[in-house]
Chains A and B, each alone.
Chain A
Amino acid sequence: MDWNIIFGQALTQGLGVQAIIYALAAIGLNIHFGYTGLLNFGQAGFLAVGAYALGVTVATFGQSLWLGVAFGLLGSVILALLLGVPTLRLRADYLAIVTIASAEIIRLIARSVTFRDTFGGSDGINGFADEFYALNPFSSGLVWGPVSLTPNKLWITVVGWVLVAVSLLLVFLAMRSPWGRVLKGIREDEEAVRSLGKNVFAYKIQALIFGGLIGTLGGFVFALSNQSVQPDNYATTITFFAWAVLILGGAARVFGPVLGAVIFWFLLIFINLLLSEAVRAGYITIISSTQVGQIRFILLGLSLMLLMIYRPQGILGDKKELALDAR
C-alpha cells in the first residue's frame, strides 16, 4: 500500500481539473436548482455544447479557438432557450425529463455515424487545444509534496480556478441583487412573485441561461484539459455527479458547489485508489480490479439518496431554505 500515491492522486484530483469541471457544472446547477428551484438534469448538455463548440470550430472548420469559445457561449444560450421555452411554464418534473432527454439527444447526435464528418462520431475530436497551450506562461511543472503537475496541467488548473473564482463572484453579486432575490422568491412561491407583477417565466429563462453558461465554462475546461472531446464523456452520469457535488456542498450557498466538488472528488478518488491498491496487494480478494471502478458509481447513487434523505442542505446549506416541494 503506497499511501503517498493514494493521497497524492486524491489531492491532485480533489484540487485539480476534475474538481474544477464539476465545481463549474455544480455552480451552474446551483443557480438553476439552489436559487431558482429548477430541476435541470441536463447539465451534461451544456458542458457538451461548450466542449464540442471548441472542437468543431477548430478541428472541423479550421477557425480560431477563441471563435469556438464565442460559439460555445452562444450555443449554450440557444440550448437554454430551447429547453426553457417548452418546459418552464410546466411543473418542475417536466423540466427534469426534458433536460435529461435533451442532453441525450446532443450526445446521440454527436456520436452518430451520420454526422461523423462534423462531430467525429464515437471517437470524438482531437487536436484543437494548441492555441490555448501556446499561451502557457509556465515553463516548469509543479511538484508539491505528493502532488505533481506537468506545465500544461498546471496552466489549465490555474485557468480553471480563475474561472471558478469569477463564476463565484458573479453568483455572489447576482444573488444579493434585486434580480437574485426575485429568483429566490420564485423558488419559494412562484404565485406570490407573479402576483407582485414579475414575469416569472422570463426570470426562469434568465436563470437557466446564466447557469447554463457557467456549465459551458466547465465544458471548455473539460475539453481543453483532455485536449479531446469524446461524446460518451458527456453522458448523464456527469449531470448526476454534479448534482451529488451540489447537494453535498450545500445548495443555495455560494461556496457550496466548490466545497462539494473538492470533498466529493477527494473522497471518491481516495476510496477508489485505496480499494484498488488493496486488491492489488491481495488484502481484498472477493472483488476484481474492474469492479473497483464501478464502486464509485455505487457510492454516487448511495450518496445522492442518503444526502437527499438525511441532509438535503448538505454541509453549508440551511435546511429551512431548501424545504422544496414540487409545484
Chain B
Amino acid sequence: MNTVLRRILLMIVAVAALGGPIIAGISPAAAADELELRGTLSNPEGEPVPGVRIEVSAETGFTETGTSDSEGTWAVLLPGAATYTVLLIEDSLPPDLGLRDPERNPLTLNVLSRSKTVQFPLGEEAGGGSQWTSRALQLLVDGLAFGLILALAGVGLSLVFGTTGLTNFAHGDLMTFGALAALVFNNYIGLPLVVAAALALVLAVGFGWAQDRGLWRPLRRRGTGLIAMLVVSIGFGILLRYSYLFVFGGSTTQYAEYSGQAGLELGPISITPKSLVASSLAIIALLATIAWLQRSRMGKASRAIADNPGLASASGIDVEQVISRVWIIGTTLAALGGIIYSLSNGVTWIQGFQVLLLVFAGVIVGGLGTAYGALVGCLLVGVLIQMSTLFIPPELKNLGALVFLILILLVRPQGIFGRAERIG
C-alpha cells in the first residue's frame, strides 16, 4: 500500500511543482522535503472506503481538504511545521459506516519535520463482521492446540500432586528436558525429528524413573515435609534450568526439520501440518492416559491413592510402585508437551518455566489433584489465552490467564472438578 501511496503522492507533487509534463524525472528526495498528513480508510472487511472528505486546519489559518480515492487513501500537503487539527467530515461517510471511536475526531497532531499517517478506524470491530469471526475461529484453534500442550504437562503435574501431595515447581523444566533431548538427537546427531522425538520420550521415561528413585523417594523415606519438598522442587527446577543454559546457551534454536512450514488453509482457518499431527499425537497420549487411569489396575490404584493414601496402602496397593509409575508417565507427557511446544516456538532453556505458571493456572482452574480437571482446565486456559488477544494486546495475553487463576481461587477455589474438602 505504501509504495502505491508514495507513487500517487509523487505524482501530485510533480504535477503541483512542475506543472505536469515531467513525471519520470522526479527524485524521491523531492518528495521527502514535502510535509504531509495521509491515511487509508477501510471498512471492517478490509475494503477501501472512497469519497470521504478530511479537513486539515491549523491556527495559522491554513485549511485544506483531502478526499479518499478508490483505494481509500487520502493525503494533504502541509505548508510547514505546526499543530494541525484533522477532522473527518462524518457526513461524507457512507450511511452504514460510522467512526469506531467518535471521541478521536477531530485529532490534534503536532507535525515537526516528518510526514505522519493518521488512522481513522471505521465501523464496529466487535460487531461480528466476517473478518472478526474468522480471526476468532483461528484463535480458537490456536488456543486448543496450545491448551493441549498445557494439558500434557498439567495431567502429569496433577497426577504427581494427587499421589504424593507434591506441588512440583520443576515440572516445566521437565518439558524443556524433552524439547532439548529431541534437539540433541535431531540437530546434533542428525536423526529424523520423528525418531529424535521418540528417543527423547524414551529418555524422559528414564528421567522420570530416576527422579523418583534418586530424589523424591529418598525424601519421602526421610519424612521430609511437603513444604520442604516444594522448596526442594523449586531448587531442582533452578538447577535443571541453569544446567540447560550452561550446556546449550541462551539462544532459541529451531529443529532442523519442519521449521518453516506453510499453513494448510481449511476454510477461514490456517493450520500447519506439523501442528495438526502434533495435536493428534497429544490427543492420543491424553486418551491413553485416561484409559490407563480408568482401566488398568495401576491407574485405578493411583486414583485410590489420590483419594486416600492410607486406605489404599492398607488394602494392599504398593504405593511406592504406583508413585514411580506416575512420575514416569508425568515426565513423559511433559516431555511430549515440550517437544510439541518447540515445534513452532523453537527450543530455549527457559521455555518450560515460562509455561509453568500457565500450566498451574490450568490445573487449578480444573481442580488440583484431579487428572480430568487438569485436562479441561488446561484446554480452557489455552483457549482463553489465545482468544483474549481479540480484546487485549498480544503481549499481555498471559496476564489474562493469571488474573483468571486468581479470580477462580476467589469464586471456586477447588476448581471446576475439585471437591471442596481438598483445599480446606
Query: Which A residues form the contact surface with B (CB < 8 A)?
Result: 37, 39, 41, 85-87, 89-94, 96-98, 100-102, 104-105, 108-109, 112-114, 237, 240, 243, 247, 291, 294-295, 297-298, 300-306, 308-309, 312, 323-326
Contacting pair A114 B393 (CB below 8 A) = yes
Nearest Cβ on chain B to A324's Cβ, whole angstroms: 5
Which B residues, 158 to 172, have Cβ-Cβ distances below 8 Å to chain A? Answer: 165, 167, 169
**Binary flags per residue of B232-261, CB closer than 8 Å to A gives 1, else 0:** 101111111111011000000000000000
State in angstroms the CA–CA spacing of A104 and B361 once bound together: 13
Among candidates B167, B242, B246, residue contacting A93 with C-beta atoms closer than 8 Å: B167
Contacting pair B228 A324 (CB below 8 A) = yes
| Residue B399 CB within 8 A of the other chain | yes
Contacting pair A309 B245 (CB below 8 A) = no
Among B222, B361, B364: residue with most chain A CB under 10 A: B364
CB neighbours of B281 from chain A (8 A): none
Among candidates B234, B242, B424, residue contacting A294 with C-beta atoms closer than 8 Å: B242
Q: Given A94-B423, A101-B402, verify A247-B246 contact (CB < 8 Å).
A: no
Which B residues, 348 to 370, have Cβ-Cβ distances below 8 Å to chain A? Answer: 357, 360-361, 364, 368
Q: Which residue of B lies closest to A241 (CB)?
A: B238
CB neighbours of B393 from chain A (8 A): 112-114
Among candidates B238, B398, B406, residue contacting A301 with C-beta atoms closer than 8 Å: B238
Q: Given A97-B167, A104-B402, A308-B232, verify A86-B227 contact (CB < 8 Å).
A: no
| Residue B44 CB within 8 A of the other chain | no
State in angstroms the CA–CA spacing of A280 and B168 once bound together: 39
CB neighbours of B361 from chain A (8 A): 101
State in angstroms the CA–CA spacing of A302 and B239 once bound together: 6
CB neighbours of B413 from chain A (8 A): 86, 89-90, 94
Among candidates B231, B239, B405, B406, residue contacting A308 with C-beta atoms closer than 8 Å: B231
Contacting pair B234 A326 (CB below 8 A) = no
Q: Given A294-B242, A308-B232, A309-B232, verify A325-B226 contact (CB < 8 Å).
A: yes
Q: Given A86-B409, A305-B235, A308-B232, verify A91-B227 contact (CB < 8 Å).
A: no
Among B227, B403, B405: residue with most chain A CB under 10 A: B227
| Residue B266 CB within 8 A of the other chain | no
Contacting pair B230 A39 (CB below 8 A) = yes
Among candidates B225, B230, B242, residue contacting A96 with C-beta atoms closer than 8 Å: B230
State in angstroms the CA–CA spacing of A86 and B402 once bound together: 13
CB neighbours of B423 from chain A (8 A): 90-91, 94
| 27 CB-based A-B contacts, threshold 8 Å | A41-B234, A85-B410, A89-B413, A90-B423, A93-B167, A94-B364, A94-B413, A94-B423, A96-B167, A98-B405, A98-B409, A101-B406, A294-B242, A297-B241, A298-B239, A301-B236, A301-B237, A301-B239, A301-B242, A302-B235, A302-B239, A308-B224, A308-B232, A309-B232, A324-B225, A324-B228, A326-B227
| Residue B219 CB within 8 A of the other chain | yes
Contacting pair B236 A105 (CB below 8 A) = no
Query: Which B residues form the contact surface with A (CB < 8 A)?
Result: 165, 167, 169, 219, 222, 224-228, 230-232, 234-243, 245-246, 357, 360-361, 364, 368, 393, 395-396, 398-399, 402-403, 405-406, 409-410, 413, 423-424
State in angstroms the CA–CA spacing of A237 and B232 once bound together: 15
Among candidates B360, B395, B410, residue contacting A86 with C-beta atoms closer than 8 Å: B410
Other A-B contacts than A104-B357, A304-B234, A309-B222, 17 sampled, CB-CB below 8 A, are A39-B230, A90-B423, A91-B424, A93-B230, A101-B402, A101-B405, A112-B396, A114-B396, A291-B246, A297-B238, A300-B235, A301-B239, A301-B240, A301-B242, A323-B225, A325-B226, A326-B226
CB neighbours of B424 from chain A (8 A): 91
Q: Which residue of B lies closest to A114 (CB)?
A: B393
State in angstroms the CA–CA spacing of A145 and B243 once bound together: 36
Contacting pair A108 B242 (CB below 8 A) = no
CB neighbours of A301 from chain B (8 A): 235-242
- Which 9 residue pairs are nearest across A and B when measured between Cβ atoms? A304-B235, A301-B239, A301-B238, A326-B226, A305-B235, A297-B242, A325-B225, A93-B167, A86-B410
Contacting pair A105 B364 (CB below 8 A) = no
Contacting pair B228 A312 (CB below 8 A) = yes
Among A98, A101, A294: residue with most chain B CB under 10 A: A101
CB neighbours of B237 from chain A (8 A): 301
Q: Which residue of B lies closest to A300 (CB)?
A: B238
Nearest Cβ on chain A to B423's Cβ, whole angstroms: 5
CB neighbours of B357 from chain A (8 A): 97, 100-101, 104
Contacting pair A298 B228 (CB below 8 A) = no
CB neighbours of A101 from chain B (8 A): 357, 360-361, 402, 405-406
CB neighbours of A308 from chain B (8 A): 224, 228, 231-232, 235
CB neighbours of B235 from chain A (8 A): 300-306, 308
Contacting pair B227 A324 (CB below 8 A) = yes
Q: Which residue of B lies closest to A100 (CB)?
A: B357
Q: Which residue of B lies closest to A109 (CB)?
A: B399
State in angstroms the CA–CA spacing of A323 and B228 once bound together: 9
State in angstroms the CA–CA spacing of A113 and B236 once bound together: 33
Among candidates B226, B238, B364, B403, residue contacting A97 with C-beta atoms closer than 8 Å: B364
Q: Which residue of B lies closest to A303 (CB)?
A: B235
Contacting pair A97 B165 (CB below 8 A) = no
State in angstroms the CA–CA spacing of A90 and B424 once bound together: 6
Contacting pair B406 A309 (CB below 8 A) = no
Among A97, A247, A302: residue with most chain B CB under 10 A: A97
Nearest Cβ on chain B to A93's Cβ, whole angstroms: 4
Nearest Cβ on chain B to A249's Cβ, whole angstroms: 15
State in angstroms the CA–CA spacing of A193 and B245 once bound together: 46
CB neighbours of B405 from chain A (8 A): 97-98, 101
Contacting pair B409 A304 (CB below 8 A) = no
Q: Which residue of A lies closest to B409 (CB)?
A: A86
CB neighbours of A87 from chain B (8 A): 409
Contacting pair B227 A112 (CB below 8 A) = no
Nearest Cβ on chain B to A290's Cβ, whole angstroms: 8
Q: Which residue of B lies closest to A297 (CB)?
A: B242
